[in-house]
Amino acid sequence: MLFRARSGTFLTFALAGLLTGVWVARMPALAGKFGTNEGEIGIVVLVWGLGAIAAMQALRGVMARAGSRTVLRVALPLTGLSYVGVALAPTYGVLLGAVALFGMTFGITDIAMNAQGSVVEQAYRRSVMSGMHAGWCVGAMSGGLFGVATAAAGFGFTETVLVTALLSLPAGLALGRTYLPDPAAPAASGTGRRARRMPAAVYLIGVLAFIAFMTEGSIADWSGLLLHDELGATEAVAAAGYPMFELAMLLGRLVGDRVRMRVGTRRLLVGAGLGTAVGMTVVVLAPVPAVAIAGFFVTGLVVCTVVPTTISLAGSAAPDRPAAAVAQVGAMGYGGLLLGPVVVGFLSEATSLRVGVGVVVVLALLIAAGARYAPLRTTADISVPAPAEAPAEAPAPGAGDSRPEPVAA
């Protein structure tokens, strides 16, 4: 049962990544379909993010009461269904409405699958979150390559997204049978609002997640347009930038849990921030598309552990309410995911895409600086007992080793 839940969560991340990968890789085709400029594409991204944050905040209480399994079983198929609306939108105005709905369903799916990952991690009693986030990279990379193939074949945005949406629906329904129930919350010692209040550590982790999501979102949403508009790459080559970034993210996350257990959480976050700043400096100064793509690869290799680490810290900071804690951090993170691409878009409109994307260098340095304040409570401290069959189970794809994570600064 535990292996099935871990594999199912891994595949859920992969499916969500697939939807995102196709969306990002065909962003130039979306701009071409509606004849939009960079500012209008920024508005599309803004509407998507607002939909996600609004749904997260509105349903955070539902997440806490119903648990990640119940929410995820509903939200994941609805995300595929809303993706159909994005594909078929006939005008820019209708597109904004469809994107808002897609953002709402996707946002709920995102926090629910991360909360489910936290439940599985607590059951394993060791760091496995980075390995499950590797599933996202597998999906995003596959979606990006699918975007490359469809662009090279001459297919438009509508056909590409529609096929992806129709394939995701049955997959989302099938994965619903694999999830674990959330642990029962202990009886509250206080009453009213005081009993329901999240630990302060959750909000501190949320600030770091805000910066991390802002960084990843800026890269994801603007990599293709930077390569196409600023460096003169073809649509097919421009679409390859994001899957290369995700390939590096995958490679890094496959070993991320081992690295975290070896060097400690704080050193991991500092190194990721500094490495991201170096990689994105290469991107911003690149003279040709090949150099920029290499910079995206380096960036993905080091930034990949930041988001799963913040999610893991959130779940362990409130082990009695992991779904609610992850929902809170996820909502704060999506604030960064919303703000980052919009800031890049408007800066790009006023100056250039190089200057806009250069914001990511500053964000990466903030991650390195903020890591020293991260409240650390590792999976070794989690008191949820592992299921009886856990020792006999084989690891899921992308997982770390079986050693307990040290408490390291």
pLDDT at 186: 53
Mean pLDDT of 100-117: 90
Q: Kind and range of the H or E element at 6?
A: helix 2-25
The sign of the torsion formed by the CA atoms of 212, 13, 201, 383 equals: negative
Mean pLDDT of 254-267: 89
Confidence check: pLDDT of 380 > 90: no
Confidence check: pLDDT of 200 > 70: yes
pLDDT at 45: 78
The length of the chain in residues reads 409
| Helices of type H across 286-394 | 289-303, 306-317, 322-350, 353-357, 359-370
Mean pLDDT of 1-6: 83
Confidence check: pLDDT of 392 > 60: no
Q: Residue for token digits 């890094």? A: 252
Number of other CB atoms surrounding residue 299 within 10 Å: 30
Confidence check: pLDDT of 75 > 50: yes
Domain 1-179: top CATH class:
mainly alpha
Query: What is d(CA 245, CA 140) in angstroms, rounded to the nearest whole number?
Result: 9
Q: Residue for token digits 């890591």? A: 371
Contacts of 178 (CB under 8 A, 6+ apart): 4, 5, 7, 8, 9, 11
Q: Kind and range of the H or E element at 379?
A: none
Q: Please provide the average confidence, as pLDDT, over all residues in the chain.
A: 81
Mean pLDDT of 236-250: 83
Query: What is d(CA 120, CA 296) in angstroms, rounded to the nearest whole number?
Result: 31
Query: What is d(CA 118, CA 122) in angstroms, rounded to the nearest whole number?
Result: 6
pLDDT at 174: 92
Mean pLDDT of 166-195: 73
Cα–Cα nearest to 390, from 175, 126, 184:
126
Tokens representing 283 are 């991107």
Confidence check: pLDDT of 90 > 50: yes
Mean pLDDT of 317-329: 76
Confidence check: pLDDT of 398 > 60: no
Confidence check: pLDDT of 230 > 60: yes
pLDDT at 196: 58
Indicate the domain borders of the chain: 1-179, 200-376
Cα–Cα nearest to 124, from 387, 310, 326:
387
Confidence check: pLDDT of 220 > 80: no
pLDDT at 192: 46
Q: Percent of the chain scored above 90 by pLDDT?
A: 25
Would you place residue 409 in the very low, low, confident or very high pLDDT band (cuts 50, 70, 90)? Answer: very low
Query: What is d(CA 121, CA 63) in angstroms, rounded to the nearest whole number?
Result: 18
Confidence check: pLDDT of 314 > 50: yes
The sign of the torsion formed by the CA atoms of 150, 131, 297, 43 equals: positive
DSSP-assigned letters across all residues of 228-262:
IIIS---HHHHHHHHHHHHHHHHHHHHHHHHHHHH
| Helices of type H across 125-199 | 129-153, 157-175, 192-196
Range 200-376 has CATH code 3.20.20.370 = no
Mean pLDDT of 126-136: 85
pLDDT at 297: 93
> Could you read off the pLDDT of 138-158 as tens digits, one per residue?
888 888 889 889 888 888 899
Confidence check: pLDDT of 322 > 90: no
pLDDT at 293: 92
As a whole number of Å, the CA-based R_g of the chain is 20
Confidence check: pLDDT of 391 > 70: no
Cα–Cα nearest to 323, from 202, 173, 171, 176:
202
101-123 exposure pattern, b = at least 16 Cβ within 10 A, e = fewer: bbbbbbbbbbbbbbbbbbbbbbb
pLDDT at 240: 82
Confidence check: pLDDT of 290 > 50: yes
Q: Residue for token digits 């489910």? A: 116
273 touches 365 (CB < 8 A): yes
Mean pLDDT of 324-350: 81
Confidence check: pLDDT of 341 > 70: yes
Query: What is d(CA 90, CA 97) in angstroms, rounded to the nearest whole number?
Result: 11
213 touches 307 (CB < 8 A): yes
Confidence check: pLDDT of 93 > 60: yes
